[in-house]
């Protein structure tokens, strides 16, 4: 017998004896720790985890990678496995990327006022579709309609699932089986495969492209109008910029042309500000109210971009057209639930009060770089020099994101971290696997954290994540 065979045989004998030591599922489930676990998380998860742990144990014994069976060790593995399965998948993360409206991270965080209202609506009955003054059935639009009327001078406002749904519904109602005229410079794609030509064709409207990528004149729109034309549409090029030899008609010109031909003018504003954000240093994000004032018939925008509310699509403007949109059977399929209405109503009510600083995304936009730098410096002091970590504060840039304000950024201060024994990628990965996950950027072999998008009370959590790493 060769020495290899000899060892294998020994392994086999040891394996046999280890396999005999494995406790039964029932024996394990009867143990104090697992009974407590079962009371907390339910029998099903604990039984499943126990079976899985025992299965992997047998595999490890068979391939000779396990030398001894301990019940305490099994118990620990079962608790960890059960807890992992019981963990909810949608989890809060710390956004240290400096992208304020990060679509992958849920866009705008809600104001506490919005959350409070949402919880009330969620946990109690409400007058969602009930007119309390008349004691009869009401409309769910009423709650937000009055606010947009007051803030924007809108005749009527509808809320649907998101802005993609709003654009779709407007086109389907107003231009299906006819043509909608759009400038070639505005045939945009937004992340998540929202493309104007695709939405158009799905809505049943024929897209009539006019002008060129960089220049479209009012005469181009005028020349394209024919008996099949149902609407004119303007799209805010929210996530890119065309610079140089460019031209697009003024909104007034489009309004006049639409009037002359009794056609509705639809404008997809994308980010949709309710206030003028130019004083905050944000360019090219026209407020929705300005479009309505100029005479646009139907303006659409998102609830969770610059507005800072829940995911929603807002359609606002003239009653003549919005009433038609409201009676489209698809409105029923795209309408929002009470939670969205509650969060949106309370968010928009903050604008009514002029309390913009209550909206987290606006606070982040307006946060001075010096304040971010001071927080970064405090963190750097805690981290620098600990267990191979080096940390310092650098200048950098934050972006608003969410497909808005292309080419614009906000000056910020970054916490730049390196580790003597690990690459920036490894460091970033460890932060991402922290509980709670901390999401940072990697640039030039540095892990960069931008505290603009980190809530101040989370700074401590970041310090702890680095402590664990050190
Ligand atoms: C973001 C955006 C959309 C899509 O809005 P969602 O609310 O994400 O559906 C549509 N049009 C424009 C111009 C946008 O910027």
Tokens describing residue 301: 């925008």
The closest residue, in CA terms, to atom 13 on ligand 1 is 270
> 126 and 27 in one domain?
no
Instruction: For residues 296 and 290, give the distance between their C-alpha atoms in angstroms, rounded to a whole number.
Output: 9
Give the residue numbers spanning the domain of 20: 3-86
The closest residue, in CA terms, to atom 5 on ligand 1 is 163
256 in Cβ contact with 422 (< 8 Å): no
> 239 and 135 in one domain?
yes
How many folded domains does the chain comprise? 3
Residues at CB less than 6 angstroms from ligand 1: 162-164, 167, 190, 194, 235-236, 238, 268, 270-271, 302, 313, 403
Instruction: For residues 454 and 25, give the distance between their C-alpha atoms in angstroms, rounded to a whole number.
Output: 45
To test ligand 1's pocket by mutation, which of 165, 192, 199, 270 has the most ligand atoms within 8 angstroms of CB? 270
Cα–Cα distances in Å, from 39 out to 45, 72, 174, 245, 251?
A: 11, 19, 57, 70, 64
**302 CA to centre of ligand 1 in angstroms:** 6
> 216 and 338 in one domain?
yes
Looking up residue 348, the CATH number of its domain turns out to be 3.40.640.10
> 379 and 334 in one domain?
no
> 339 and 260 in one domain?
yes
**461 CA to centre of ligand 1 in angstroms:** 33
Instruction: Tell which atom from ligand 1 comes closest to the C-alpha of 404.
Output: 15
Looking up residue 406, the CATH number of its domain turns out to be 3.90.1150.180
In tens digits, the chain (470 residues) has pLDDT values of 444 444 444 557 778 888 888 999 999 999 999 999 999 999 999 999 999 999 999 999 988 888 888 999 999 999 999 999 999 999 999 999 999 999 999 999 999 999 999 999 999 999 999 999 999 999 999 999 999 999 999 999 999 999 999 999 999 999 999 999 999 999 988 877 899 999 999 999 999 999 999 999 999 999 999 999 999 999 998 777 888 888 999 999 999 999 999 999 999 999 889 999 998 888 888 999 999 999 999 999 999 999 999 999 999 999 999 999 999 999 999 999 999 999 999 999 999 999 999 999 999 999 999 999 999 999 999 999 999 999 999 999 999 987 777 778 999 999 999 999 999 999 999 999 999 999 999 999 999 999 999 999 999 999 999 999 88
> 313 and 189 in one domain?
yes
Question: Does this model's pTM top 0.75?
Answer: yes
Q: Of 323, 341, 358, which one is at a domain's C-terminal end?
A: 358
> 381 and 314 in one domain?
no
Instruction: For residues 303 and 322, give the distance between their C-alpha atoms in angstroms, rounded to a whole number.
Output: 18
> 144 and 267 in one domain?
yes
Q: Of 358, 391, 418, which one is at a domain's C-terminal end?
A: 358
> 255 and 150 in one domain?
yes
> 118 and 98 in one domain?
no
Quickly tell me which residue has 């998948």 as its tokens: 89
Select from 458, 447, 386 the least CA-distant residue to 414.
447
> 432 and 315 in one domain?
no
**403 CA to centre of ligand 1 in angstroms:** 8
The closest residue, in CA terms, to atom 14 on ligand 1 is 270
CB contact set of 86 (below 8 Å; sequence gap of 6+):
41, 45
Q: Of 309, 326, 358, which one is at a domain's C-terminal end?
A: 358
> 292 and 237 in one domain?
yes
């Amino acid at each position: 017998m060769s020495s290899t065979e000899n060892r294998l045989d020994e392994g086999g004998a040891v394996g046999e004896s280890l396999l005999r030591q494995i406790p039964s599922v029932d024996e394990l489930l009867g143990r104090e720790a697992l009974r407590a676990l079962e009371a907390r998380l339910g029998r099903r998860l604990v039984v499943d985890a126990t079976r899985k742990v025992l299965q992997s144990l047998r595999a490890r014994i068979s391939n000779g990678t396990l030398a001894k069976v301990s019940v305490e060790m099994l118990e620990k593995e079962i608790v960890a496995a059960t807890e992992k399965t019981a963990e909810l998948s949608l989890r809060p993360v710390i956004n240290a990327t400096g992208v304020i409206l990060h679509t992958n991270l849920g866009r705008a965080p809600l104001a506490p006022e919005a959350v409070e209202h949402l919880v009330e609506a969620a946990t109690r009955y409400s007058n969602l579709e009930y007119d309390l003054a008349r004691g009869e059935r009401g409309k769910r639009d009423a709650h937000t309609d009055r606010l947009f009327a007051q803030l924007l001078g809108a005749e009527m406002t509808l809320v649907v699932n998101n802005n993609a749904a709003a654009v779709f519904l407007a086109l389907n109602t107003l231009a299906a089986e006819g043509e909608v005229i759009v400038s070639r410079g505005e045939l945009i794609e937004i992340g998540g495969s929202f493309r104007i030509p695709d939405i158009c064709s799905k809505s049943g409207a024929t897209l009539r492209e006019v002008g060129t990528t960089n220049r479209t004149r009012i005469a181009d729109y005028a020349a394209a109008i024919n008996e099949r034309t149902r609407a004119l549409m303007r799209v805010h090029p929210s996530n890119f910029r065309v610079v140089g030899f460019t031209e697009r008609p003024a909104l007034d010109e489009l309004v006049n042309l639409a009037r002359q031909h009794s056609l509705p003018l639809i404008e997809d504003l994308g980010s949709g500000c309710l206030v003028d954000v130019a004083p905050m240093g944000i360019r090219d994000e026209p407020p929705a109210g300005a479009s309505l004032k100029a005479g646009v018939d139907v303006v659409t925008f998102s609830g969770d971009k610059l507005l800072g509310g829940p995911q929603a699509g807002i359609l606002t403007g003239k009653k003549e057209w919005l009433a038609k949109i409201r009676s489209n059977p698809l409105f029923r399929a795209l309408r929002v639930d009470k939670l969205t209405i509650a969060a949106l109503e309370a968010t928009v009510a903050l604008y009514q009060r002029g309390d913009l600083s209550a909206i987290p995304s606006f606070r982040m936009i307006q946060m001075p770089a010096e304040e971010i730098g001071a927080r970064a410096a405090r963190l750097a002091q805690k981290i620098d020099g600990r267990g191979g970590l080096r940390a310092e504060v650098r200048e950098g840039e934050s972006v608003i994101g969410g497909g808005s304000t292309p080419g614009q950024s906000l000056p910020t201060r970054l916490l730049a971290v390196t580790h003597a024994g690990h690459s920036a990628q490894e460091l970033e990965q460890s932060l991402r696997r922290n509980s709670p996950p901390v999401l940072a950027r990697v640039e030039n072999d540095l892990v960069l954290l931008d505290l603009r998008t980190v809530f101040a009370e989370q700074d401590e959590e970041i310090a702890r994540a680095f402590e664990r790493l050190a």
